[in-house]
Structure 1
Amino acid sequence: MPRKAMVMTVGTGKDVWHGLAYSIENANPDFVLFLVTRESMEKTLPLIKAELERQGIGLVEYTRNTAIPEDAIPYILVEDNNINNTEKLLENYRKYIEKYVLRRGYSPGEISVDITSGTKAMSSALVFVALELELNEVRYVEGERGKDGRVTPGTERVVSQKPLRIFFEKRKGEVILYFNKFLFESALTLLGQMEEEFVNPERRREIEFLTHLVKGFKKWDLFDFTGAMDELKKANEMEDFLKKYRLKKKLEIALGTLRKEIDNPYSYYRVVDLFYNGKRRFMMGRYDDAVARFYRLLEYIAQCVLKNEHKMETGEIDLEKLKEKGIYEKWLEFRKNADLQRVGLQGAYYLLGLLGEPVDWTNSEEVRRFLHQRNYSILAHGFVPIDKEKAGAFMEYLEREILPKVVENFKRLSKNFEFPQIEVRP
């Protein structure tokens, strides 16, 4: 079972001891930190202990040399007489909780604070610290009040507010923001922190769902199609969250698309995927990375056409087939002293032209300019950075002029490769 710690301000009002004892009995914490004044330490604390003893609950002050009975609750008390100085109490209460509770191994999700008694400054300071440290619960005891305005013993009930719900939604919103910007590693780092902080089973299930989702699209973004499918299958099994995030249809499409890419490494699905991978880099402002992918896309298009239409690979050109087609001599003349069976971008497209493929666009002025810019970039052979304008022009040309000619139904297929944008929903 999770451990529970309680931090409690202790005032001196009439009969407040009864409400404080009731709160401790109700919460049944494993440890209590009393924030007292000189007066409340002398007048109220003994009454709290006596009331709990009547209920069969022992309170034992913790020291290094004290043996705590198994059925007793250890406590530490800290005296602070700045009873009307909220700013000073804020600073001090934060230090006390860090020193005496967090350093004892309690996580923020295992700590509650009780503001039933104490001055307004004491209660306000403790609430602010609870919010700042993202503690689990803020509670107080209320009940029926007598003629003197005080809670009548025996009518108490605990009122509890859970700031953790607010913190969870805030963190979740940050995860979604990272996901929507394709910052998958940042999202996973935050999800890992959330997994340590939040113990509520339903929240942990939602963290699990988001983790599978983020891991799936991260692996897809890294071309690990099998790993992506494994993660997205797990997310797809959590139907309540698919509905909550409106992702059911999108994950079905994603899984179907990944399956086609896994089945055929020379699939035209991968052509579109590689383009959208570069497009995401462009959207992230990583223009050199985007252009590197667009260059690889041109190479891959040649590989796909050679493989699918002519049963050849750029690393193993079938010279006998070239002889059968009567183009071997032209190929030999073009390659001169170069390897006849292993070719790069230029050789692959020259060969496709010999084979009768419509690849005239590879000799266009635009393509030559884009390839020149890539070749002189830092990720190729030069030192010239690629700016947004150059990368954007290359991307738009591919999308407008080349991909519709290479991939049948390119526009319709494109929707399969746009990673989902999650709406922030409570």
Structure 2
Amino acid sequence: MPEQRKKILIMTVGVGGEIRSGILRSIDAQNPDRVVLLFTTGSWEKHGNALIGEITKRGIEIEPDKEATSTESEVDELLPKYLEIIQNEKRNGTVSVDFTFGTKAMTAALYLAGLLGGLEKASYVGGKRNDQGTVISGRERVIIFSYETPRTAVFCKRLVELYNSYHYGSALQIAEQINKATSSSDNLKKRKTETLYRVCKLAYLWDKFEFKEASETTLELLGYAEEAADLVGSEADPLRIQENIKAVADYLAGLTEDEKKKQINQGLVWELIKNAERKAANSLWDDAVGRLYRAIEYIGQLKLYEIGLFDGDRFLPPPPEDESRVPPDLLMALKEGRPLGLRDVYRYLGLHDPIAKHIIEKDDLKQDVKNIIASRNKSILAHGFRAVGEDAYRAMHQLALDLVNAAGIERPPFDILMLREDLIL
């Protein structure tokens, strides 16, 4: 059988009060295997020997720490010391903390250290108090509380910060931790944490262009419509919320490949542009420019699809009567079924649609477009080793918007929503 882990109780020791009605009452109630006492200079002198004697008589392992504090210590000084003690003791067993008997600074520091140190519970001795605010002798009781609620609040705040700054993967990891740590017995809170996990998963999949899985995850939210609305701060009625969820799921499903493994949907253009904008918000210029390049290329493919010269998979040669209009190198590529890059897509499109004038001039890329694409091609994510800067991103972003407007591609009504800044589970 595996060795049973020790129950370790870390306790603050202040100067005031009676140790029997405070510290010893908590020790007797919790029956730890090991006690670590955190003293001040004054409390060591007043209570040190007596406490050690009482605890030793109970057959409990005792570790007095006279170096951890002093009468001058403040919370910011005590916190790292207490946190180090907790981490060291966690190697020896299961740790909890008790701040029945300490100064205000000691109490605050030990509570925070327990929270940051990942402890599950803390305790103090309370009970009915007299007019002076002191617990009446004989009316004491040990109050044990979980760190789950405050820890969830801390994690939730960080999750919202990450999610709303488009770090969906990190937000999803925290949401998963919160959901796993939430007891199934608290049905209301469990539904909230499950909803939060699904919302983060939806954003994560959507941002990765995994639209099929994102659509399926959206449908899972139908049973959590009210909770989902609360996460994003919507006050719509439940029926309206469910209708919106279904509409989002249908929209995402429409972006996926069809049975012929083709993706032809104008919404994909905006998905690429919006994704680029999210990457740019975190100064990921290379990633952003790569998405914009694909958006510009895809607009050309869509226009060729509309006139029957692209089938969603390959580019189609022109009818024989139009072959003379196509430059020889481009015609050969089309007849051989070779894929076309951005330049050739718009050269081909330029024979049929004036929108290509945004890109092509005299059967070649316009000089300003060449400069933009040259910056992209030098990116480490393309063909070079240079980082793309903000200027290149902004130029390509504007070019993409100009093409979208010229093509008449409307912005879809759906996007990844932000979480409420004041979210509390």
- Is 1:33 aligned with 2:27? no
Contact 1:373 1:386 in 2 (8 A): no
Contact 2:191 2:227 in 1 (8 A): no
Contact 2:82 2:109 in 1 (8 A): yes
User: What pairs with 1:93-112 in structure 2 (closer than 5 Å)?
Assistant: 93-100=82-89, 102-106=90-94, 111-112=95-96
**Aligned equivalent of 1:363:** 360
- Is 1:214 aligned with 2:200? yes
**Aligned equivalent of 2:110:** 126
Structure 1 residues 33 and 361, CA gap change in structure 2 (3 angstroms):
same
Deviations 1:176-207 (A, max 9, x none): 111111122332444466567x4555566555
Matched position secondary structure for 2:419? coil
Rounded Cα–Cα distance in structure 1 between residues aligned with 2:8 and 2:203 = 39
In the TM superposition, residue 403 of structure 1 has moved relative to its aligned partner by 1.0
**Aligned equivalent of 1:392:** 394
Matched position secondary structure for 1:114? strand
In the TM superposition, residue 29 of structure 1 has moved relative to its aligned partner by 6.5
Rounded Cα–Cα distance in structure 2 between residues aligned with 1:367 and 1:235 = 47
Instruction: Determine what percentage of the aligned residue pairs are the same residue.
Output: 22
Mean alpha-carbon deviation: is it higher for 240-249 or for 284-293? 240-249
**Aligned equivalent of 2:273:** 275
Rounded Cα–Cα distance in structure 2 between residues aligned with 1:397 and 1:118 = 65
**Aligned equivalent of 2:41:** none
In the TM superposition, residue 307 of structure 1 has moved relative to its aligned partner by 3.1
- Is 1:168 aligned with 2:170? no
Q: 4+ residue stretches of structure 1 with deviation over 6 A?
A: 11-14, 146-150
Contact 2:124 2:142 in 1 (8 A): yes
In the TM superposition, residue 397 of structure 1 has moved relative to its aligned partner by 3.5
Structure 1 residues 373 and 21, CA gap change in structure 2 (3 angstroms):
same
- Is 1:328 aligned with 2:323? yes
**Aligned equivalent of 2:250:** 256
In the TM superposition, residue 225 of structure 1 has moved relative to its aligned partner by 1.1
**Aligned equivalent of 1:56:** none
Matched position secondary structure for 2:64? strand
**Aligned equivalent of 2:217:** 231
Rounded Cα–Cα distance in structure 1 between residues aligned with 2:72 and 2:179 = 36
User: What pairs with 1:50-129 in structure 2 (closer than 5 Å)?
Assistant: 60-61=59-60, 76-78=62-64, 80=66, 84=71, 86=73, 93-100=82-89, 102-106=90-94, 111-117=95-101, 123=107, 126-127=110-111, 129=113
Rounded Cα–Cα distance in structure 2 between residues aligned with 1:350 and 1:123 = 73
**Aligned equivalent of 1:372:** 371
Deviations 1:201-250 (A, max 9, x none): 55665554333322322222221112222333344533453132136757
Residue identity in the other structure for 2:397 = M
User: What pairs with 1:298-337 in structure 2 (closer than 5 Å)?
Assistant: 298-310=296-308, 312-313=310-311, 316-319=314-317, 322-323=319-320, 326-331=321-326, 333=328, 335=330
Rounded Cα–Cα distance in structure 1 between residues aligned with 2:200 and 2:314 = 38
Rounded Cα–Cα distance in structure 1 between residues aligned with 2:290 and 2:130 = 77
- Is 1:181 aligned with 2:165? yes
**Aligned equivalent of 1:424:** 421
- Is 1:243 aligned with 2:229? yes
CA RMSD of aligned residues (A): 4.2
Contact 2:349 2:356 in 1 (8 A): yes
Deviations 1:6-61 (A, max 9, x none): 433457877542444554566x47655241758746535666798xxxxxxxx653
Give 5+ residue unaligned stretches, structure 1: 51-58, 63-75
Rounded Cα–Cα distance in structure 1 between residues aligned with 2:109 and 2:353 = 79
Rounded Cα–Cα distance in structure 2 between residues aligned with 1:394 and 1:149 = 68
Structure 1 residues 80 and 172, CA gap change in structure 2 (3 angstroms):
same
**Aligned equivalent of 1:139:** 123
**Aligned equivalent of 1:66:** none
Deviations 1:343-367 (A, max 9, x none): 3333333333445675443336996
Give 5+ residue unaligned stretches, structure 2: 1-5, 39-43, 235-240
Deviations 1:377-410 (A, max 9, x none): 32345566543234223323432x32133245x1
Q: How many residues align?
A: 389
TM-score, length-normalised on structure 2?
A: 0.73
Rounded Cα–Cα distance in structure 2 between residues aligned with 1:143 and 1:254 = 53
Deviations 1:312-352 (A, max 9, x none): 33764444x612xx212333635365452323333333333
Matched position secondary structure for 1:237? helix
Residue identity in the other structure for 2:298 = Y
Rounded Cα–Cα distance in structure 2 between residues aligned with 1:301 and 1:149 = 73
**Aligned equivalent of 2:348:** 351
